[in-house]
A and B are shown apart, each in its own frame.
Chain A
Amino acid sequence: MEIKTAEYNVWTEGSTIHYEGTLRLSGTDAYQPILDLMQQVLVEKPQNVVLDLTQLEFLNSSGINLLAKFTIELRKHPDVAMKVLGSTRIPWQSKSLPNLQKLHKGVELLIT
């Protein structure tokens, strides 16, 4: 599965979801196709889900809300481990990703 535009690319490989580029969509509705793609991964009942954000240069607050929504959704699947990969090169990730762990204690956050 893949959603690709000139600004960003979101695709899945097994139960890993990759994000690349700049995501500045206008709100919850505009992010819905991406949320659908993420939720599709859960349908396969994987043991773990990985969000690879190491190439996502920018995410606006509506996009942060998307990640938060998915994290909350994962609380309903306690048997699915969630890992979030970030990069120290991209400042928003160290600033905003720790909020996900406040929503779901089981989130493993690796910012390298």
Chain B
Amino acid sequence: MALDFGETTHRNTPSAFSVNIILAEGPLAVSWQHASATCEFLGDLFAHHHAQGGADYNEARHAIIYLVNELLENAIKFRNPGDIMLLCSLEDGNLELAVCNSTAPAVAEKFQSLLSEITSRDPGELLIERIEANAADETSSASGLGLLTLMNDYGARLGWTFEQNDGGAIVLRTYASLTLN
């Protein structure tokens, strides 16, 4: 059974400037530093492409790096062992990113309850509330702040789909889009 949250529809066409990346578990032993390397690569590549039209390279590069890094950090942290797939595209200043990884059912369930809250409230208000709650609770892992900063500080539009595969794991797809200035 599939479950959706937020905005899961992407509009860039097949002719958009796009790159697919697979962080393959076997050869890479996917770990934390792959988020850095991947976001720097995509940030440079897509900001260069965007800046060809005269737009601000630095601003675009930074926003792309922050977006890719936060979603990839989440994927690396909460995934089941396995590949992580990224699809990034840019068309008319609309940057779209989809990240796909598998995760354990219990992790998915916890994440879904966080998403119900995130997608039903004002992200700016919720960001401050969660920061306060995290500061008051020493054991808190501050999860959700990356998503809320993306929504509130960067105006990112986010969506998620959960689907159970034959092996019982959950396939999570995270969708993000950003309007680059």
B-binding residues in A (CB < 8 A) = 22, 24, 26-28, 58, 60-62, 64-65, 68-69, 72-73, 89-92, 95-96, 99, 102-103
Contact = CB atoms under 8 A, between A and B. Distances in A.
B132 A28 contact: no
B65 interface: yes
The DSSP consensus for interface residues of chain B is helix
A69 B136 CA distance: 9
Nearest to B58: A91
Interface string B28-61: 0000100110000000000000000000001100
Contact of B131 (A65, A89, A92): A65
Given A58-B65, A89-B58, 5 more contacts: A24-B36, A27-B77, A27-B141, A27-B142, A91-B58
Contacts of B149: 61, 64, 96, 99
Contacts of B70: 60-61
A72 B149 CA distance: 18
Contacts of A68: 131, 134-135
